[in-house]
Structure formats: structure tokens, C-alpha cells
């Protein structure tokens, strides 16, 4: 029986899965199709010295994991990210969570533990000839398949050095009769040279502050990769879902419905945390819609376009008139920093979106007129007084 697989490098033992170097750097892209996410990352892993660092969205958010050998007694996790407050815009801030006896913190790899993976063949993946390794894990009604594509090159010692190409997870739930989860990581620029110790040094002028709450809730923000790399840790999803159900009084009719809503919530939670790491100029959080599908959300946002109202007046200025008036506007201006914006309102199934835009503008104008006194106005009052104008929505989507 042949125990070796041929590669462009030579022959690799099919009986023994690849073991990653104890020190490596690698860049990659986390892809989550169900959440429509493509998140770039850059990882440094130093198993010799008990340190790891993973950056997301091109250094936008930096996360550090220090084991107990570096940070007694149970390790520590640090996140450096820009934070906007009412006084400051995108100030780089350091937050820290120390491990506990119940939740110790270890260094984080972006490559899976391959101990239980089995060779299942060869395949061309991302233009590379690879060996394909797989592990199948059954948990209750769930069957999770983890697949790793690996290419090889000759190491300095002449041995085959495994190079990660792609790692994929597909989860099937027999209770639902469908795939409940799917994500994959594509890797590039894998290197096993020693890492510059300065990579793990945090600016001494930056004062790290503690982050309140139990450690399990911080996995998705302080160490997002912990959820995606075998062995996976996703207890925070169940914990957040329990909080969501209690807060919004969710009661599902069956076990099937509960499992379905949990999986929808999982993807929405990933979408929230990933977009917050991207620092897009706004932040997202869990609300009462976090267990709803896209189709259900579209139904809640539903509206019929009824054409332009004959009673509406055109905007009195064109582009040429504005140029003649020499109106100069800054490329961006955030009125939230000045306290001129009220909290986000819930439009729910109300189709009169014009009233929300109008009220927001009037609230800001009153704030300036009244010397910084912010008053929250009512959309309903506008709608009640405008039935004679048919309450048309004047913007075509």
C-alpha cells in the first residue's frame, strides 16, 4: 500500500498530517458567504515565546494574545483600535482583558490543529497543486467538515515544509436539513523566519484600560479568529443569543425554529463585529432584528413607489447656481461629535421615510439655532399633519 502522495516538491507521507512551524507569519482573507463578509488579516505566531498578534482590515484593529508564560497568571488579551467619542474622532485606544482561572488566554493560531485530519486526495486549489486533508466532526444533529489544502516546498533541512493554501468549514444540520454554516480562509505569504520582537510591543505612551463584563463575551472582539480555527470556540454566540432572547422576549415554537434563528443570529453577529472592525464611520450592534433573514427584513422595509407627488416643489438651486454662490463644503463633517444628532430611530414598517429625513434635518437646525440645545422631534406629528399632501415618498429606489 502506498503511504506517500506525490507533489511538485516530491513525496509527502499520507499517514501523518502536516504540522505547522512553531513560529510563522501569514496573510489571509476570512470569507463568510452567509454573512457576505471578506475580511483581510495578517497574523504573527510565536509559539516559542508565547505571543501572537492578528491584525484585521489592514492594521485597522490589532489584537494581541499573551500566554501565561508572558503574562502571569492566566494570560492576557489586548485590542488596539480607533474609538470615536463625542469629544474625539478615531482616537487609537488600547483595551485589555486578563485571563481567569475559568477562562485562561492562550496564543492564537490562524492555522488549525491538524492532529485528527485525514488525507483525502490531491486537488488544484488557488493555482497550486495541493494535498487535501479533512476532519469530520459530529455534534448532535450537526456534522462539521473541516478541510485543509496544503502545498509543500523544501525546507532548509531538505524536508517537505507544509504551506497553507485554504482552510474551509462546512456545517450540515440534519435537524434543519441544510447547511447551517460555511466559511473559509485563504492564505498567502506564509513565512517561518523568526519574528521581530517589536511586532508584539505596544506603544508605551498608550495606556491600556480594562474592559468590563465576562471574558466569554469578548472572544468576537478581542480574538475573532478563535471562532473560526479548529479547535473552535463559539460559546459567545450561545451566550449572546440567550441575552438577545431575554431582552426581546423571543420564544420559538419548536426546536427546529430555535436552531434556525440561532444560525441566522450567528451570521448577523459576525456581520456586526466584522463591520465594526472595519471602522466604516458608523458602528453596529445587536437589536431586535438580529434573528431575521434578509427576506424578512426586506418585507419590513417594504414600500410601493407611487411616483413623484405633483404637490412637491423642485430644489431651487442647480449645480451651476451653487458654484456661483461659491458654496464650499468640507469633504466630511460629523455632527455627532458636536452633540447635534439624536439617537437612531426605528422606522419599523412605516413607509414615510421622508419624515425621518426631514425630522433629522430640522433637529440639527434647531440645535444650531438654540445654542446647542438638542430636542427630539416626532415623525408621527409630521405624518398626521400631511395627509392632504398624500404622504408620498419622493425618492425613487
Q: What is the mean pLDDT of residues 66-70?
A: 89
Return the ∠ at Cα 126 (arms to 122 and 131), rounded to 5°. 20
- 51, exposed or middle or buried, with CB in 10 Å at 0-12, 13-18, 19+? buried
Average pLDDT over residues 241-268: 95
Measure the CA–CA gap between 133 and 152, rounded to whole angstroms.
Answer: 13
Residue among 306, 299, 298, 316 at smallest CA distance from 391: 306
pLDDT at 311: 66
Measure the CA–CA gap between 23 and 377, rounded to whole angstroms.
58
* CB contact set of 318 (below 8 Å; sequence gap of 6+): none
State mean pLDDT over 66-73: 86
Over residues 292-302, mean pLDDT: 79
Q: Has residue 383 got a pLDDT over 70? A: yes
Which of 173-177, 242-246, 265-269, 317-321 bottoms out in mean pLDDT, i.e. has the lowest? 317-321
Q: Is the pLDDT reported for residue 214 higher than 70? A: no
- The pLDDT of residue 1 is 44
Q: Quote the pLDDT of residue 300.
A: 73
What are the structural domains, with CATH classification, of the chain? 4-232 (2.50.20.10), 238-299 (1.10.287.2250), 302-389 (3.90.70.10)
Least confident among 151-165, 188-202, 348-362: 348-362
Q: What digits encode the pLDDT tens for the residues 263-284? A: 999 999 999 999 999 988 788 9
User: Coil, helix or strand for 166?
Assistant: strand
- C-alpha cell read off for 304: 410601493
DSSP assignment of 184-216, as one string? EEEEEEEE-SPPPGGGGPPPTTS--EE--S-GG
Instruction: Kindly state the cell numbers that stand for 71.
Output: 503574562
Distance CA 396, CA 306 (A): 9
Contact between residue 65 and residue 75 where contact means Cβ atoms under 8 Å apart: yes
SS3 176: coil
Q: Give the contacts of 208 (CB within 8 A, at least 6 positions apart).
A: 78, 94, 95, 96, 202
Place of cell 438654540: 370
Report the pLDDT value the prediction gives residue 47, as an integer from 0 to 100. 96
Task: Answer with the residue of higher pLDDT: 324 or 249.
Answer: 249
pLDDT band at 6 (very low <50, low <70, confident <90, very high): low
User: Between 235 and 215, whose confidence is greater?
Assistant: 235
Confidence (pLDDT) at 102: 82
Q: What's the pLDDT at 217? A: 64
pLDDT higher than threshold 90 for residue 319: no
The secondary structure of 86-117 as a DSSP string is: SS-SSEEEEEEEE--SSS------SS---TT-
Q: Mean of the pLDDT values across residues 355-370?
A: 90
Residue with cell 493555482: 127
pLDDT digits (tens, 9 = 90+) for 52-63: 999 999 989 999
Q: How confident is the model at residue 8 (pLDDT cuts 50, 70, 90)?
A: low
Cα–Cα distance for residue pair 34/36, rounded to 1 Å? 6
CA distance 149 to 25: 18
Q: What is the pTM of this model?
A: 0.78
Residues 152 and 161 sit within 8 Å (Cβ to Cβ) = yes
Higher pLDDT, residue 303 or 271: 271
Give the pLDDT band (50/70/90) at residue 323.
confident
Percent helix / strand / coil, the chain, rounded to 5: 25, 30, 45
Q: What Å distances lie between residue 223 and 61, 194, 268, 279, 319, CA to CA?
A: 11, 23, 18, 17, 48
Amino acid at each position: 500500500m502506498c503511504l506517500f502522495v506525490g507533489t511538485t516538491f516530491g513525496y509527502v507521507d499520507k499517514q501523518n498530517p502536516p504540522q505547522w512551524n512553531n513560529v510563522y507569519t501569514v496573510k489571509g482573507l476570512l470569507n463568510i458567504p452567509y454573512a457576505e463578509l471578506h475580511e483581510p488579516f495578517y497574523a504573527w505566531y510565536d509559539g516559542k515565546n508565547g505571543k501572537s498578534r492578528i491584525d484585521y482590515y489592514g492594521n485597522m484593529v490589532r489584537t494581541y494574545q499573551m500566554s501565561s508564560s508572558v503574562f502571569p497568571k492566566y494570560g492576557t488579551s489586548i485590542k488596539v483600535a480607533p474609538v470615536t467619542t463625542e469629544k474625539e474622532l478615531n482616537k487609537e485606544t488600547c483595551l485589555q482583558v486578563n485571563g481567569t482561572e475559568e477562562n485562561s488566554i492562550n496564543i492564537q493560531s490562524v492555522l488549525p490543529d491538524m492532529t485528527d485530519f485525514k488525507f483525502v486526495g490531491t486537488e488544484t486549489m488557488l493555482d497550486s497543486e495541493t494535498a487535501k486533508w479533512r476532519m469530520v466532526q459530529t455534534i448532535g444533529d450537526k456534522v462539521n467538515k473541516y478541510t485543509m489544502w496544503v502545498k509543500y516546498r523544501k525546507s532548509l533541512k531538505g524536508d517537505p515544509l507544509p504551506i497553507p493554501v485554504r482552510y474551509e468549514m462546512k456545517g450540515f444540520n440534519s435537524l434543519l436539513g441544510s447547511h447551517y454554516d460555511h466559511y473559509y480562509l485563504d492564505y498567502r505569504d506564509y513565512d517561518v523566519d523568526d519574528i521581530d520582537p517589536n511586532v508584539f510591543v505596544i506603544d508605551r505612551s498608550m495606556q491600556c484600560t480594562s474592559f468590563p463584563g465576562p471574558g466569554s463575551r469578548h472572544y468576537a472582539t478581542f480574538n475573532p479568529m478563535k471562532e473560526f480555527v479548529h479547535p473552535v470556540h463559539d460559546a459567545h454566540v450561545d451566550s449572546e443569543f440567550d441575552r438577545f432572547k431575554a431582552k426581546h422576549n423571543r420564544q420559538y415554537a419548536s426546536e427546529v425554529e430555535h436552531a434556525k434563528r440561532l444560525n441566522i443570529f450567528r451570521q448577523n453577529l459576525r456581520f456586526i463585529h466584522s463591520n465594526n472592525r472595519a471602522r466604516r464611520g458608523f458602528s453596529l450592534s445587536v437589536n431586535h432584528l438580529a434573528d431575521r433573514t434578509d427576506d424578512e427584513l426586506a418585507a419590513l422595509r417594504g414600500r410601493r413607489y407611487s411616483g413623484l407627488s405633483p404637490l412637491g416643489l423642485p430644489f431651487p438651486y442647480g449645480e451651476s447656481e451653487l458654484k456661483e454662490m461659491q458654496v464650499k463644503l468640507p469633504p466630511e463633517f460629523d455632527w455627532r461629535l458636536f452633540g447635534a444628532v439624536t439617537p437612531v430611530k426605528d422606522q419599523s414598517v412605516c413607509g414615510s421615510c421622508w419624515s425621518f429625513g426631514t425630522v433629522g434635518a430640522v433637529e440639527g437646525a434647531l440645535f444650531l439655532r438654540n445654542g446647542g440645545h438638542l430636542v427630539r422631534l416626532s415623525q408621527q406629528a409630521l405624518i398626521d399633519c400631511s395627509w392632504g399632501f398624500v404622504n408620498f415618498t419622493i425618492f425613487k429606489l
